[in-house]
Every structure is written in structure tokens, then in C-alpha cells.
Chain A
Amino acid sequence: MIDKGFTLDPGKPCPVTVLEDVKLVRLQFGERTPLKSLKKRTRVARGALLAEHSSPNVGDMHASIDGVITDLTSTFVEISYEAAPPAQEADAAKAGDLAQPVQPVSFEGLDEIELGKLLKKLGVAIRPFTRPCELFIINGINPEPGMLYTQELLDAYLPELEAGFALLRRLNNAPEYILALPQGSKASLQGASVRQVAAVYPGSLARPLIKTITGQEQTKHVTLVRLHDLFQLGLVARSGLPLTHTVSTVFGKNYLAPLGTPVQSFLDLQGLTVQPGDSLILGGAMRGVAISGMRRGLRKADDAIQLIRKGSRPELSDNPCINCGLCLYVCPMRLRPNMLSRYAEFEQYESCRKEFLGTCIECGMCGWVCPACRPMQQYFRMAKLQLGLSTFQHRLRGQ
């Protein structure tokens, strides 16, 4: 029998290192609109609002360190650390609002709508938390290979998680909350019932995990968030300050780092050098995105950054399918990736839809097992884009 997945081994304890002395951050605007007052050489304080998003579900963006804007384009802003000059009243007035230290806010006495609006302004993507549902699952399993943070967060950052959970329960009135944990874990979260499940990929992803817990394949009435998301909510909930930091497993070590910390800084920190032919991955090794430059900054959703050395896997290219059927066997969604990938390869996108392309969660198992080394996920992403399913895909990813 071919294994239908592989165990996600947490390995040795991997304590979280807090990075405070980051000298330069590069923040991607994404689809957010930068503030008009943003200019080069402007001094900004940590937590100062830099860009807003029109959607109520997408968090705004804030400066993650104290410093001065040294570069500003339509896609990113670069902030370099610079010690604040001695405070003088005239200077402070000249420096403008962005340089004013940000004061914590209180969440007391707000209803769920006001709370959601406030959290959005503090940089939290609130959609998964506010989604109406009958069951709310917090995924306490490291979702993908290369992510090692869940046990460390549950051990060392329980107050943050509890604060986040308290806010979550005000945002969402789900009748039941479940914390999914790997077997043997002793962690718990007050108010949520614990369910221990085998830590196996792709069983750690949203829809397979929901099925393991509820026994049902209909997942509409269930919301699932990663522990990573709850932790970000918790950071804001505990401090009352905008979201400026995130936890991420970078090259096998856990960091609590300012958003926008360049990948190069992590490489320097661990003394790693990139050789020609290596790949740098934002996200997990099975679903992540390869980046093209080492100045790219850490984003809110990046729960891992990985360095894949040249030759650690066979090269993927447009080889013909040999019809061995291994992909059918490992697919957790019971699709026919062999047919799907061929339809996509030959641009028969309508046939892809008939083969239930929309059900694909892009777990990457088919590409992992493919002896012909075909770029399966690439085909599926291309076909989804062509079919306009990207919004659907986005929703699946967000779950």
C-alpha cells in the first residue's frame, strides 16, 4: 500500500525566539490603499497606521517598528530603524501624527459589530472569526510540514491564546468550540473541548480535519481557523495595540518577529547562504509559494519560511502522465488528478470543472507522489484561474 499521507512530526521542542532588534522591515501593501500622508523620510512610530483596506474583513496595515520611511513604492513601504530625536515640543508637532506613540485601546463594552470594526482597524483579518457557524474548530496541529509552532504557542503563549479566544467568543456565538490537537498533547484551552487526532498530512488541512472531527463531509456549517490566526487575534487582544508581530517557523526555528522582517535577515540570523538553484518558500513545503527575492518581508499569513536546497526533490516539469494512478490513491478529496491535470495541460478547462476541480484543496499529495514529476498544483491553479474559481480557492485557503 502507498501511504496516503505522512506523519507531521513535531520533533524536538523548538522555543520561540522574540526578535526585537530588527533594523529594517519591508511591508507589502497587497490590496490596501496607502495613506496620503505617507512620504519618504517620514518618521513613524510602531503601530502607526500606514494603509487601509476597503473590505471590513481585511485588516489594515501598521508600522511594525519605530523608524523612518526609507523607501516607498506602490507595492511596499520600507521602514528603517532610527533612534527618535530628543523630544521637543516643536519637533513633535512637526513630525506629524504618524510619529506619535500609539496608545492601547480597550475592548470593554463593545458589541460584536463595533468589536469587529475595531479589530479590523488594529490589523486583524476578522472574517474567519465572524463567520456564522454551528461548530468552531481551532486547528492546534501544525498544518503543513515545516511548521512547528503550535505546541510552542500552547506552552509559552497561553495567555495570548486565552485572550484571543475570549474575544473570539464575543465575535462569534457558535454553540460549540473544539480545539484539535495532535495525539498525546496535554494542552487545553478553557472553554473549548479538546479533540485529539492523528497529526498526519493532509489530515491537518481544513476540510479533511473537519471530516475527522465531525464525521461529515459537508463542511459549510463549520468554521476552522489555524492556531496561528487565533494567536494574532490574541496578540491584539492582550495588548490592545495594532498587530505588528507574528509567529512563524523560519528555516526550522520559531520566531516572534515584526511583520515585514526581510527573509535576508532570517538567513543572516542563522548564518545560511542561498546557493544557485535553491528555492525559498513562503508557507508550507506542500502548498507554499516560491519567492524571487530575499528582501521580501514576512506577511501576516506566512506561518513558515523554508529553504529548499537544490536536488532535495526531483525537478518538476511537463512530463507526460504515465497513468500509474498513484495520485488517485492519495487524493484526500477523491478526485482524479491524473485526468484533471491532463485536461488543464491541454486547456480543456470546462472538462476540469466537470471533474470537480472546485473540490481540490491543493494539498499537493498528487505532486508529492507523482513518479513522472508533473507540476500538478501548477496545472490546477492555472485551470482555476482560467475558470474564475480563484475566489473559491481563496475562501478554501482562508478556512
Chain B
Amino acid sequence: MTQQNNTLAEIRPRFVVDTPPFMHRGCTVGGMMRDMLIALAPAAAAAIWHYGLPAVRVMALAAGVCVLTQALWEKLLGRSSRVFDGSALVTGLLLAFLLPAGAPWWLVATGAALTMLLGRELFGGLGCNPLCPPLVGWAALTVSWPVHMDPTAMNLGSSLIDPLIRMKYFGWTALPEGSELALALGGQLGGLGSTQVAALLLGGLFLLARKVVRWEIPAAFLAGVLALGSLFWLFGETMGVNPANCPPPHLYLLTGSTLFAAFFLATDHASSPVAIAGMFGYGLLAGCMTVLIRIFGIYPDGAPFAVLLAALTAPLLDLIRPQPFGGKRSQ
């Protein structure tokens, strides 16, 4: 009898037969999303400072609808729920940052649902999206309801100005003298969080320090903006471009959602390349497109569309890869 008990004790699974490695760096998807939320917090606070309760309303609604959409979609498909990893919450916040604080509730809800469904879940969920999900939602809203997405039209009571509109239609010299500091602190109309330049820079640097996003993409993005911006600023006139449309390069960073796109949108893991050469190419392309759209395009803020366009090249850029160790002979 005792022997039998011993045998049973031996058979009973007492520990887990698992697969190596038996160590982990410790950073999981949930942890990454927590870091993203921390990085977004300063900009969210600045948005509330500038716009008050309406900003809270838009952020809460967008995040809530995103989480709900994912939960319902997974329920519908009978999949195990991944909603608690926090990625839907982050996606919702990112979308809210692109919307004007005075956006009507139905616009926010539609945008959030489109973001999750069209941007992510239809392709298989987190990691499978070919484009940055908040940008898909944002683009759908921008082309469908341009008036409701116009920050000036939606914030008529505000004393702030939209510097992008000024620069587009009156030239960059129409900006008030010495407005750089005010612009950096978010004193401009635009997406409620995407224009909080200083706060976003703080959050972006936190993401880099926590190694949630890689430095190559934001660095290449900003380098692309500054390089092409400088080129047009210095030589725009000789190239036949109206010099009033060619602001000094730092104004590209201080206005609109350039920094937001560089640190938070272009770095979306699924839609950006993963090889180092590809990341540099992708960042440069997005940065250059931002400048080109701002100078030549009909949309005042080029950054979101630039990121969308650059993401289309990501699969191609991912083909640039180094030789494996020891050359290709192992094939």
C-alpha cells in the first residue's frame, strides 16, 4: 500500500515541465502598456489644463469604447479575452489625443470603434495590424467629417489659435513673435493631446529610457523633419517654393502633432519595421513626408498621414536584413 502511494506521488504532476528559457527579462505586453500610460500621463494632464472637462470627456469616451469594442469582438468570435493587457486602453487614448477637445460624442465613439475594428481586430488583433490603429480611426473621421475634426471649428470659445492654419494660409511670419515657448507648452489648437509638445517630449523620453520603443524610429523621424525642413527653409525660394510656406525647421516640431507622431504613432510595433536599417528608412521617410505634406499638401498637419504612408513601406523595408551569422551557407 505504501509503495502504491509512493508511486502515485511520483506520477502526480508536482512541477511544471516547461520550455526554456527559464529566465525572462521581465517586460511583458502588460508592462509595456503600463509604461505607455505613464508616458501619456503628462500630455493628458496638460490637455486637461488647457481644455478642462471636455478633454476628460473625449479621452474617457475613446478609451472606454475601444476597450468595450475589443471585449465584444473577442466575445463574438469566441476567443479568449486579451482585453486586460491594456493595449485597447492605450490605443483609445492615442486616438483621443488626435481629436479636438470639443468633438461630439458620436464622432469619438465612431472613431474609437473604427480604430479597434478596422485598425486592429479585423487583421487579428494586437501585433497583426498593418497600420497604426489610432491613425486608421483618425483618417476615417478626417475624410468623413472634416468640419467636426477641425480643431478651430470645434473650439470656438477658445482664445488659442491653430498655428498650422496660420502658417498654411498666411505664412509662418504671421505667427506672433516669440510664441515658441507658448507653442511648446501646448498653447495651440489641435488634437487635444497631440499638441502638448513639451509634455509629449517628456513622455517620449520616458519611453526611450524604459526601452519600450526603440530610439531609431523617433531619431530618424525628427532627423528627416529637420533635414528636409532646413533644406526648404534655406533653399525653398531658389526651388520655386513660396518662402512664406517654408518655416524655420524648429517650427515643424513645435506645431501640430510632429512629436506625438515621432514618439507614439510611428513607433507602433506592428506597423513599423523591425530591422535596424528598415527603422531608419521608415523614420526618415515619415519625417520627410511630414514636411512635404505641410508645404505642398491640402492638410495642414502632415504628420499623421506621413506615418500612415510610411507604414505602407514597412513590409518592404523589413526585407533589408543583415546576413545571418557565418553567411548564408547554412541554408
Query: Interface segment, B10-18, B52-60, B158-166?
Result: B10-18
Confirm or deny: B125 has a beta carbon within 8 angstroms of a beta carbon on chain A: yes
* Listed residue (A219, A321, A322, A353) with the most chain B CB atoms within 10 angstroms of its CB: A322
Confirm or deny: B322 has a beta carbon within 8 angstroms of a beta carbon on chain A: yes
Question: Could you tell me the distance between the alpha carbons of A275 and B13 in the complex, rounded to whole angstroms?
Answer: 10
Q: Are B127 and A321 in contact (CB under 8 A)?
A: yes
Q: Name the B residues within 8 Å of A356 (CB-CB).
A: 324, 328, 330-331
Q: Name the A residues within 8 Å of B27 (CB-CB).
A: 369, 371
Q: Are B29 and A359 in contact (CB under 8 A)?
A: no
Q: Are B22 and A334 in contact (CB under 8 A)?
A: no
Smallest beta-carbon distance B61→chain A, Å: 26
Smallest beta-carbon distance B200→chain A, Å: 21
Question: Could you tell me the distance between the alpha carbons of A368 and B16 in the complex, rounded to whole angstroms?
Answer: 18
A279-B16, A286-B21, A377-B21 given as contacts; is B326 within 8 A of A219 (CB)? yes
Closest chain A residue to B213 by CB distance? Answer: A324
Closest chain B residue to A291 by CB distance? Answer: B17
Q: Name the A residues within 8 Å of B176 (CB-CB).
A: none
Confirm or deny: A338 has a beta carbon within 8 angstroms of a beta carbon on chain B: yes
A219-B326, A320-B125, A353-B331 given as contacts; is B214 within 8 A of A325 (CB)? yes
How many chain B residues touch the partner (CB < 8 A)?
Answer: 45
Closest chain B residue to A321 by CB distance? Answer: B127
Question: Could you tell me the distance between the alpha carbons of A180 and B124 in the complex, rounded to whole angstroms?
Answer: 48
Interface positions of A from 304 to 357, Cβ below 8 Å from B:
306, 308, 310, 312-314, 316, 319-325, 328-329, 332-336, 338, 353-354, 356
Q: Name the A residues within 8 Å of B323 (CB-CB).
A: 334
Cross-chain contact of A316 among B18, B128, B269 (Cβ < 8 A): B18
Q: Name the B residues within 8 Å of A314 (CB-CB).
A: 24, 26, 28
Closest chain A residue to B12 by CB distance? Answer: A276
Confirm or deny: B275 has a beta carbon within 8 angstroms of a beta carbon on chain A: yes
Confirm or deny: B20 has a beta carbon within 8 angstroms of a beta carbon on chain A: yes
Confirm or deny: A274 has a beta carbon within 8 angstroms of a beta carbon on chain B: yes
Binding site secondary structure of chain B? loop
Q: Name the A residues within 8 Å of B128 (CB-CB).
A: 320
Question: Could you tell me the distance between the alpha carbons of A377 and B23 in the complex, rounded to whole angstroms?
Answer: 13
Confirm or deny: B19 has a beta carbon within 8 angstroms of a beta carbon on chain A: yes
Q: Are B24 and A373 in contact (CB under 8 A)?
A: yes
Cross-chain contact of A308 among B22, B25, B325 (Cβ < 8 A): B22
Cross-chain contact of A378 among B14, B19, B26, B273 (Cβ < 8 A): B19
Q: Name the A residues within 8 Å of B22 (CB-CB).
A: 279, 281, 285-286, 288, 290, 306, 308, 312-313
* Listed residue (A217, A310, A313) with the most chain B CB atoms within 10 angstroms of its CB: A313
A323-B274, A334-B324, A371-B29 given as contacts; is B331 within 8 A of A358 (CB)? yes
Q: Are A290 and B16 in contact (CB under 8 A)?
A: yes
Q: Name the B residues within 8 Å of A325 (CB-CB).
A: 214, 269, 273-275, 279
Closest chain A residue to B126 by CB distance? Answer: A322
Cross-chain contact of A323 among B127, B276, B328 (Cβ < 8 A): B127
Confirm or deny: B244 has a beta carbon within 8 angstroms of a beta carbon on chain A: no
Q: Are B269 and A324 in contact (CB under 8 A)?
A: yes
Q: Name the A residues within 8 Å of B13 (CB-CB).
A: 276, 292
Smallest beta-carbon distance A98→chain B, Å: 27
Confirm or deny: B48 has a beta carbon within 8 angstroms of a beta carbon on chain A: no
A2-B211, A295-B10, A314-B28 given as contacts; is B15 within 8 A of A279 (CB)? yes
Q: Name the A residues within 8 Å of B31 (CB-CB).
A: 371
Question: Could you tell me the distance between the alpha carbons of A369 and B273 in the complex, rounded to whole angstroms?
Answer: 18
Q: Name the A residues within 8 Å of B322 (CB-CB).
A: 334
Q: Name the A residues within 8 Å of B26 (CB-CB).
A: 313-314
Provide the B116-128 mask, 1 if CB < 8 A to any CB of A, else 0: 0000000011111
Q: Are A276 and B21 in contact (CB under 8 A)?
A: no
Cross-chain contact of B325 among A313, A332, A371 (Cβ < 8 A): A332
Closest chain A residue to B29 by CB distance? Answer: A371
Q: Are A288 and B29 in contact (CB under 8 A)?
A: no
Q: Are B20 and A377 in contact (CB under 8 A)?
A: yes
Smallest beta-carbon distance B218→chain A, Å: 14
Q: Are A287 and B21 in contact (CB under 8 A)?
A: yes
A285-B22, A325-B214, A334-B323 given as contacts; is B269 within 8 A of A277 (CB)? no
Q: Name the B residues within 8 Å of A324 (CB-CB).
A: 32, 269, 274
Q: Are A285 and B29 in contact (CB under 8 A)?
A: no
Q: Name the B residues within 8 Å of A329 (CB-CB).
A: 214, 276
Confirm or deny: B327 has a beta carbon within 8 angstroms of a beta carbon on chain A: yes
Smallest beta-carbon distance B66→chain A, Å: 17
Q: Are B269 and A323 in contact (CB under 8 A)?
A: yes
Confirm or deny: A59 has a beta carbon within 8 angstroms of a beta carbon on chain B: no
Q: Name the B residues within 8 Å of A182 (CB-CB).
A: none
Confirm or deny: A245 has a beta carbon within 8 angstroms of a beta carbon on chain B: no
A217-B326, A217-B327 given as contacts; is B20 within 8 A of A1 (CB)? no
Q: Are A336 and B321 in contact (CB under 8 A)?
A: yes
Q: Name the B residues within 8 Å of A289 (CB-CB).
A: 20
Question: Could you tell me the distance between the alpha carbons of A273 and B321 in the complex, rounded to whole angstroms?
Answer: 48
The 4 residue pairs across chains A and B that have the minimum distance between CB atoms: A325-B274, A322-B127, A364-B21, A313-B24
Q: List 8 A–B pairs whose Cβ atoms lie within 8 Å, in order of A's numbering.
A: A1-B215, A211-B325, A277-B16, A320-B127, A322-B269, A325-B279, A333-B324, A371-B31
Interface residues in chain B, defined as those with a beta carbon under 8 Å from any beta carbon in chain A: 10, 13-29, 31-32, 124-128, 211, 214-215, 269-270, 273-276, 279, 321-328, 330-331
- Given contact pairs A306-B22, A325-B269, A377-B20, a sample of 19 additional A-B residue pairs in the complex whose CB atoms are under 8 Å apart: A145-B23, A276-B14, A280-B15, A285-B21, A285-B22, A290-B16, A290-B17, A292-B13, A294-B14, A313-B24, A314-B26, A314-B28, A325-B214, A328-B275, A334-B324, A358-B331, A364-B21, A367-B19, A371-B29
